[in-house]
Structure 1
């Protein structure tokens, strides 16, 4: 977490649609929160070694309050 923004880098191991949901467990004085699901669609483009995975980005969003 940096200036209210969380970042997660993840390498996907399969092509296709991947649903991603952010979950904050809460802390003293802060409520727990769960974002709505966002989907990123990936296509590996024929990576060597037969691994079709790839990386993607959802950009920025907000968990709400």
Structure 2
């Protein structure tokens, strides 16, 4: 089996983003292509890691992020 993850470039890194699935906002810290396989067949997903205002990071699909709108 190959590596479990690899970091990917993204145009919103270190910018404020919003997770459209949860509505949570924070700073995009990393985008990772992660192997989430639990069997012999590999399954890779692109995850966005976002640091919220509390300092805790959460992950979501990279397809769920958009730039946060400044108010």
Output the TM-score relative to the length of structure 1. Answer: 0.33
Q: Which has the larger radius of gyration?
A: 1
- Which protein has the bigger strand share? 2
